[in-house]
Structure 1
């Protein structure tokens, strides 16, 4: 027999009611009892002394009906019994109890979206424990809440019991999952400056769209509402609306509980501009001019708190570089509502003399303390710098080792000392991934990788990668120690094996090698890497119809090279997140033994910016390289530069010097190359939740120069620098199977023999 515990997991049915004699329920005011004996019936697991202690009925004394009723209530409230009955019989009081049964097993029925093992972790009722109806109801409500967090607000969970022998029951949770409660509409009231569609793009919560089967953000989650309010506030304030407020959020559920309508009631307020921006120093001996040079807030620009924060960070960095302790940058803003303008003053003030007493780290069960501590530039005894502590907290989070990392401060043993508390929650840092990729030139490829980013809790990275594509095979092993010898020295060891077969050419290649390197900072944004590379390259199976230049170059070559790379990247300090710059310069000198005698030099400069509009990203790069052979060594095809993806709109090996008298007309590569690339990425009017954006790009460059130009039939190969250029459009689509990029291009400057590629699709996914 199955018994249901109430409609919607709310109340118990009559099987759990308790009976009381009518003489006790309507006692006469003057009635009293005297009991010389108390007899307990029905108790099996609960000791008689426990029952008597709850009843608290004194023998041989007058007991009123009200006191008997109180005893009944205490026994009922103990939670030990399913039913309780108190029966006076002369001088004997009989207490009849029926104990709650023991749970034989717990099962779930009707659940498909959430598996049994997940639900078992939610419920608190346990097998071989006493059944508690109130706990079963609470468990049912918790299961329903789990479904609600998945966007199924219509889910219903009913706990039922099935009676078994020996006072046992099976507890069954019957689940009706219901449909997803989708957000059909998000609307706004009070917005005049921006349309509803523009504001919807700001929110993390999204309306249901054509991709609702894949996109989960169109289901309601109450915990996202505060985040959405903050996102709206940040957006409006970044546009100059300093007084913006979210006055309320009204979610309205449809009658069928399968759809939700959310309305944000907002107050925009006036839009402010900066009328004046000044920097003053209130610290004797500190010149404000050096700090004013770091100001990024311009007169006449609209109010943007991020610009103020960037300026403060830059000024604080100057204070640190000058060795000034206890300097506080205080932004003072004066509103002028009549003119909708602001007067901003950055005041350099002397902060309180507070020192770091100690740094306490908790929660790291795997990661060693030193891995976390080295993210702090502050040590015990240093002056307390709130900005530096916040930056350290960001570095701890950026490690990716922790599901959560909180860094807070509290007062130390005196008013002049603080204690920094670091509380972290470990998360898995190892991954086994399988992936697929596709490119028009390379075809379909498969890859697998095994990576541990926090090896033995030491912060080391160990990785094994294997990949295959159409005719290509590659494998590599990487080891990285980010703090070699306990210093900011990044040691890396890499070994690899790769081979290609007819990659848009009529020859095969093979490469096997090792490369240890060490990298260290030489400035706030600059780092230098020193490396050694030992590799064995092979050019093989050159087709007899290919250029005689390639046929002469066929064979093995051992390369032993020393090299370095200098990189400068403003993202390391993050002083201006709107626009970032990068620069790199590399040289590798082969000839420390081996067959290859060459110097290879490459350089790259680039920027990425959202300065024009925050939803439009602009990228630009300028790259160049040269390889030079010395000691009578002539660089060959695997030393020279080939097209690759340097200039879009052309096939791999599609440009550069080419032996036109050979039947195959294989590209020969060049000793020199340069390329300039510009690209923009922007929304194209589709809802943001679809993950589809557009882009435009333009590439220009060239590959040229050969030492050996005598080609087939003794005719010299034309290796002059001919400029190639292409323009195109891109569609970026973030899909459930991975990011897709569609490139449509057109070459606008090319040679007759170049091989053009008007369309390219790339996809990369992991599963």
Structure 2
């Protein structure tokens, strides 16, 4: 093998071969200049063998093929008698790759994505692609004016260092988002739907105010979904105009839309020509009602409902096809759900790839079909949505392809895993307990099994809390969530002249009872202790008597039912939540504890104003034993705003003995009404205003009161207030300014309340 010492960074272009035919036969080949690449490899690239008869065009093609390998800076192929001479100049080897001038983004953001890597062959084309990669990363982070200049440093032994010199410049933010053609909804309401936000007060920590083509594509879809779910079946997003300001320091985004008319459901029916289908049964199963606002999502939910019903009745290969008829006169859409014979296709197998940590069964649990079941495209799409909703994967693609025969389908699941755990240390502030430190650990996919584990420890000036929870979402391979909750809480004279200690261990099972309903059953073991009363001076005799019982251990079992249609409700502007539960104590202490909550939310005035209403209450009754201050209800600043914790309800008031202790109650009821509305500030600030009114009370200590006990009977309190809501990347903040419209003389009121939580 011959060697040359010449290194030339230039490409020599050979003159075109003569037009007349000329052939060569080579018995000998000489290759010059190659140091790393073997002669045989170069000949393989060229595609010429010894003894082969070739013409001038073939020689030219051989040179181009060798050059296309990307290993050589210059290639020359020529004939000399019966000898083929190939002169090459190899590209150098990259010794090191560095990025200089990047202050805003770390090297780790770029280096793994670059084609130029140590010990690889240097190529100008590769460096150019790397420049484009670095520039695009800066563009995704809002720095579209960033420039990148490559610098090549020559070293000995045909090596080079590649340095990318970066000039970062400032962030090019989204300055304004406007809409053209919107009549039913304001620009502010529509901007609230989009993922992209305008640059505002928190531009230093909000990344959504930078331009991203992927984010714009997502916004196009969510804007379409927003309108169609509200009955605008003809909605069209004509185009999205993205422009830069003259200074190239800000983006101006304009959505050109055509809303169309709002439609309602007209006649809703089910039909079928299949003899085995009882149409009346399927008609009765429809949840869509005439007169309601049209929504494609509601149509999809009824299709899925009818398909499940068909499977339950043993009707295989039955598909539901919606037939929609427009009634432009009354702006309604008639929907006929027709049950037809579907193709006889079976699921051959489900292949899962990309899950290096997550077990296959966690992904398979999201499918309602298994190998050998009839193939249902809708069920596959819904399974894909459930897989994405797990939150375990950065990307999840579910596709179906033909299997070993035309009547078999293979379902391919390709996932890209992402971190599912978090460890945080922070501080929180609450008006009731003051400032505290918090450490928490959360893992949503424990050991890749889909199990959730959470641990939290917090300390404040007056309390200490330890919480642990664990849940298995597919217990026994079914849609059954099994969990266990453990908590330990200690208070040190928190708003009282005594200390409390509470321990609770509660295994539980949760399962669906309807589309929006869940039922939880549980057993619990609790320990409560009341202490810190060594000096009984100034302490209620009722509390002293209860503390004399020392620690009390109770066993109980119970259930809790919840209904929540906010995610699958018929009306996207309205949501309803209902919860009801009971806990039954047995053993030495027998009691029944009942709690209930009903809450509704709706948007009015083109969805710019949100109205909320909540009613909640509870009752505790003892059949054996009696309640203690650690068992009874107390209303805090979140339940009845405008009052201190323990500031409302029965009290033992004896000024002569310096006694003024809150006793809590065995019953409570509260009603809250609230309206949230814009304040005219740019919505990217995340600041809105609200007004609210609360009414309620807590009463009845559940035992014979003292002569000095006050407010033992129901005595209603009411407050009115103004709220400022601030949604920040660190969490939602709420500032309440309240005034007590009705309060008793010895209640403890509060005119300002703030809740804030910060993790770092």
- Pair in the same fold by TM > 0.5: yes
Encode CA deviations 1:568-622: one digit per residue, 9 max, x unaligned: 31449935364444443333344424xxx24141221313333656555444333
How has the CA–CA distance of structure 1 residues 275 and 554 changed in structure 2, closer, same or farther, with 3 Å as cutoff? closer
Partner of 2:391: 400
Partner of 1:217: 208
Partner of 1:357: 347
Partner of 1:8: none
In the aligned structure 2, how far is the partner of 1:18 from the partner of 1:383? 61
Match of residue 714, structure 2, among 718, 721, 726: 721
Report the alpha carbon displacement of residue 667 of structure 1 after superposing the two structures with TM: 0.8
Match of residue 279, structure 1, among 269, 277, 286: 269
Question: Are 1:699 and 2:699 counterparts?
Answer: no
For the Cα contact (< 8 Å) 1:553–1:637, is it kept in 2?
yes
Partner of 2:519: 527
Question: Are 1:626 and 2:619 counterparts?
Answer: yes
For the Cα contact (< 8 Å) 1:518–1:531, is it kept in 2?
no
How has the CA–CA distance of structure 1 residues 129 and 745 changed in structure 2, closer, same or farther, with 3 Å as cutoff? same
Q: Which stretch shifts more, 492-501 or 570-579?
A: 570-579
Q: SS of 1:142's equivalent?
A: helix
In the aligned structure 1, how far is the partner of 2:403 from the partner of 2:68? 47
Partner of 2:3: none
Q: Which stretch shifts more, 464-473 or 403-412?
A: 403-412
Report the alpha carbon displacement of residue 154 of structure 1 after superposing the two structures with TM: 1.3
In the aligned structure 1, how far is the partner of 2:13 from the partner of 2:105? 43
Encode CA deviations 1:202-229: one digit per residue, 9 max, x unaligned: 4322333343223222211112222222
In the aligned structure 1, how far is the partner of 2:429 from the partner of 2:466? 18
In the aligned structure 2, how far is the partner of 1:558 from the partner of 1:227? 56
In the aligned structure 2, how far is the partner of 1:566 from the partner of 1:314? 26
For the Cα contact (< 8 Å) 2:194–2:222, is it kept in 1?
yes
Partner of 1:176: 167
For the Cα contact (< 8 Å) 1:215–1:689, is it kept in 2?
no
Partner of 2:125: 134
In the aligned structure 1, how far is the partner of 2:512 from the partner of 2:294? 36
In the aligned structure 2, how far is the partner of 1:104 from the partner of 1:463? 46
Match of residue 646, structure 1, among 627, 639, 644: 639
Partner of 1:5: none
Encode CA deviations 1:402-424: one digit per residue, 9 max, x unaligned: 33333344455566554444433
- Structure 1: give runs of 5+ residues left out of the alignment: 1-13
Report the alpha carbon displacement of residue 671 of structure 1 after superposing the two structures with TM: 2.0
For the Cα contact (< 8 Å) 2:348–2:410, is it kept in 1?
yes
How has the CA–CA distance of structure 1 residues 528 and 119 changed in structure 2, closer, same or farther, with 3 Å as cutoff? closer
Match of residue 229, structure 1, among 202, 220, 223: 220
Report the alpha carbon displacement of residue 635 of structure 1 after superposing the two structures with TM: 1.6
Q: How does 1:290-439 map to 2 (within 5 A)?
A: 291=283, 294-299=286-291, 303-313=294-304, 326-335=317-326, 339=329, 341-352=331-342, 354=344, 356-363=346-353, 364-411=355-402, 418-439=409-430
For the Cα contact (< 8 Å) 2:147–2:167, is it kept in 1?
yes
Report the alpha carbon displacement of residue 93 of structure 1 after superposing the two structures with TM: 7.7
Q: How does 1:187-206 map to 2 (within 5 A)?
A: 187-191=178-182, 196-206=187-197
Encode CA deviations 1:213-257: one digit per residue, 9 max, x unaligned: 232222111122222222332333345443332333332334543
Q: How does 1:14-163 map to 2 (within 5 A)?
A: 16-19=9-12, 40-50=31-41, 73=64, 75-84=66-75, 96-163=87-154
Q: How does 1:461-480 map to 2 (within 5 A)?
A: 461-480=452-471
Q: SS of 1:719's equivalent?
A: coil
Question: How many matched pairs?
Answer: 743
Report the alpha carbon displacement of residue 141 of structure 1 after superposing the two structures with TM: 1.2
Match of residue 670, structure 2, among 665, 671, 675: 675
Question: Are 1:761 and 2:754 counterparts?
Answer: yes
Report the alpha carbon displacement of residue 723 of structure 1 after superposing the two structures with TM: 0.8
- Computed over aligned residues only, the root mean square deviation of the Cα atoms, in angstroms, reads 3.7
- Structure 2: give runs of 5+ residues left out of the alignment: 1-6
Q: Which stretch shifts more, 65-74 or 274-283?
A: 65-74
In the aligned structure 2, how far is the partner of 1:394 from the partner of 1:61? 61
For the Cα contact (< 8 Å) 1:161–1:170, is it kept in 2?
yes
Q: Which stretch shifts more, 87-96 or 403-412?
A: 87-96
How has the CA–CA distance of structure 1 residues 387 and 288 changed in structure 2, closer, same or farther, with 3 Å as cutoff? farther
For the Cα contact (< 8 Å) 2:566–2:575, is it kept in 1?
no
In the aligned structure 2, how far is the partner of 1:762 from the partner of 1:29? 89
For the Cα contact (< 8 Å) 2:739–2:751, is it kept in 1?
yes
Q: SS of 1:660's equivalent?
A: strand
Normalising by structure 1, we get a TM-score of 0.86
Question: Are 1:552 and 2:545 counterparts?
Answer: yes
Encode CA deviations 1:716-758: one digit per residue, 9 max, x unaligned: 5441110112222322212133221112222222211111112
Partner of 1:734: 727
For the Cα contact (< 8 Å) 2:43–2:49, is it kept in 1?
no
How has the CA–CA distance of structure 1 residues 53 and 488 changed in structure 2, closer, same or farther, with 3 Å as cutoff? closer
Question: Are 1:565 and 2:562 counterparts?
Answer: no
Match of residue 606, structure 1, among 598, 614, 625: 598
For the Cα contact (< 8 Å) 1:549–1:708, is it kept in 2?
no
In the aligned structure 2, how far is the partner of 1:696 from the partner of 1:317? 45
Q: Which stretch shifts more, 36-45 or 754-763?
A: 36-45
Report the alpha carbon displacement of residue 673 of structure 1 after superposing the two structures with TM: 1.6
